[in-house]
Amino acid sequence: MIMEFLRALVRIPVNFQNKINSIFALHNLRYSVELVSSPYTRIFYNKITVVVNELFTALTYLSPKIYFTNIWTVIFLPFWFIGILQLIKRGNYMIFIKLLIVVFIIYLVGEKEIYYLWPIGLFYIYFIYIGFKSWWVKN
């Protein structure tokens, strides 16, 4: 497991470069023959579909099913949801912006193993804490 982690650390710069280059790759374009040679095409033409596709791939990192997989953690799922609702109700949006920044960085790293996703898990534990605290105060 340690060797796998070290190999993943070595691959981080390559994965980062591949994520950036994939937006400007020719194989991601729908093109006609006369548009391929234009530098304008490489930058602008049909990039919105590639960017949206990559955005949805990045948002899969926010999926809570990685953390709520067995019966003991499913018990905390309602508190997670209540915590998110409480933060929205209070207007505390900075925590969500920080979460999206962390997700973006992890996405650029290109690894989806649990030892890279632990910062997202910390955010989820905070959401559970807020949900449990708001439920405990009401009862």
What SS3 string covers 15-70? HHHHHHHHHCCHHHCCCCHHHHCCHHHHHCCCHHHHHHHHHHHHHHHHCHHHCCCC
What pLDDT, on the 0 to 100 scale, is given for residue 94?
A: 94
What is d(CA 59, CA 41) in angstroms, rounded to the nearest whole number?
Answer: 27
Q: Give me the residue spans of the domains in the chain.
A: 2-138
- Average pLDDT of the residues of the chain: 76
Average pLDDT value for residue range 84-95:
93
Can you give the pTM of this predicted structure? 0.67
What pLDDT, on the 0 to 100 scale, is given for residue 126?
A: 93
pLDDT in tens, 19-54: 777 666 655 555 545 555 566 655 555 566 667 777
What pLDDT, on the 0 to 100 scale, is given for residue 97?
A: 93
